[in-house]
Amino acid sequence: MQFKAPKGTTDILPDVARRWQYLEHKAIELFSIYGYEPIVTPMFEHTEVFLRSIGISTDIVQKEMYTFADKGGRSLTLRPEGTAPVIRAYVDHNMNQLPQPVKLYYTGPMFRYERPQAGRYRQFWQMGIEAIGSDDPAIDAEAILLMINYFKSVGLKELTLYINSMGCDEDRPVYIRLLKDYAEENREKLCRDCQKRIDLNPLRLFDCKEESCQLVMKDAPKIIDYLDKECKAHFNKVRQYLDTQGIAYIIKPELVRGLDYYTKTTFEVVSPFLGAQNAIGGGGRYNKLVEEFGGPPTPGIGFAIGTERLSIAVEREGAFLSIDNKMDVFVAVPDEAARSTAINLLSALREAGISSDLDYMGRSLKGQLKYADKRGFKYTVFLGSRELESGEVVVKNMETSEQLEVPLKELVDKLSEILGRPGAVARVKGPGTGVQG
């Protein structure tokens, strides 16, 4: 009986996994430069954490959560996103008593029961940041800049940045009333889900993927036109900072971003190299979320990048640098006599930071060389009884086929030199190597 990975999930095989590691490594490097520290939260939370934050009437909560009861009868949910768990942890660990803002980053899998398609999965990876404690528009601009700079650092050039402001408690009620009235006037043209959204949460009308609904919403009143003085000034400041930094953006008034917790700034970056699922990252401000979890009034802002979509975009833009996945040295052992020495040699090579391996499949010498060629080693060292006796080994450059004779006891140093690995001090121990074990 053979099994496939569950629908909407994929196995990330070494070639792609290596690319992901590279993308993650670059992200962590840059997030740290901007002052962010790592946080790891559980992959599942009490369901209430997501109901409270993402919002009852969102698609995520209504249709997409992996919710289950554990053996203790608790309702738990696999995290569909990373912001709510981080804020839950911020409150749980009284991080408001730390110097503010608290800047955190995370990477890991998220889970949404969505209809799988290219760029949309049921388990997908995110890399995200959250800056908690400041309402300074400069930090909004910094978060946006960080996301853009990260994309540039991994070679993406063709990006579009959309920004919007969602207003706040002061201006929302007036706007929501207007939006509701507009939706009521157009009720007949809206799908059944949207008709329900009119009463539940009219902002969610902007999330609908139905063409007819999108057409109606195109002419709907937009929150950005109803911002109060403070929100407007905040948004203008964010724009001013972006302008100063030379960051190009498009204001997209319908960018409400599928999650209920946003206030003020929202943003999203899309790549032309992806199909329908073209958002490679998005985020925004959430000035009410800490309070929602029982903490003191505390503003916050953050974003998350989708690793799969990013990886596809970088690949399609031809921006992946060739990642060196070749091993350094294969130790070919033509006869059993030299195997112990070969194993010692392998340890010495590895201690010196030289990636190396030998045959564990009982292959003939010819078979070993074929394997070394296929697997991709830079050098092959021949170590048989003859070499043990003479104390000289042959090192073959697998690309040029050039051969070099090296005294066995100098082999590690010589290979370190050839491969440009400084400071190798390990010595081969054992018979015939000149070093006592």
Which residues here bind ligand HAM, judged by CB under 6 A? 81-83, 112, 114, 120-121, 124, 126, 128, 130, 258, 279-284, 302-304, 306, 308-309
Nearer to ligand HAM, 202 or 283 (CB): 283
**C-alpha–C-alpha distance, residues 381 and 331, integer Å:** 5
Token readout for 71 is 């053996």
Cβ 90 to ligand HAM, closest distance in Å?
Answer: 12
**C-alpha–C-alpha distance, residues 328 and 372, integer Å:** 10
Residue identified by tokens 């990886």 is 311
Cβ 403 to ligand HAM, closest distance in Å?
Answer: 50
Give the H or E element holding residue 308: helix 307-316
Nearer to ligand HAM, 195 or 277 (CB): 277
Cβ 284 to ligand HAM, closest distance in Å?
Answer: 5
Which one-letter amino acid corresponds to residue 10? T
88 dihedral zone (left: phi>0; alpha: psi -120 to 50; beta): alpha
Cβ 256 to ligand HAM, closest distance in Å?
Answer: 11
Nearer to ligand HAM, 114 or 413 (CB): 114
Nearer to ligand HAM, 197 or 309 (CB): 309
CB atoms within 10 A of CB 340: 14
3-state secondary structure of 317: coil
Nearer to ligand HAM, 266 or 341 (CB): 266
**C-alpha–C-alpha distance, residues 431 and 436, integer Å:** 8
Sign of the CA dihedral with 39 first, then 44, 48, and 51 last: positive
Cβ 218 to ligand HAM, closest distance in Å?
Answer: 21
Cβ 121 to ligand HAM, closest distance in Å?
Answer: 4
Sign of the CA dihedral with 403 first, then 409, 415, and 418 last: negative
Q: Which residue is nearest to ligand HAM (CB)?
A: 306
Would you list the DSSP string of 323-392? P---EEEEEE-SSGGGHHHHHHHHHHHHHTT--EEE--S---HHHHHHHHHHHTEEEEEE--HHHHHH-E
Cβ 352 to ligand HAM, closest distance in Å?
Answer: 41
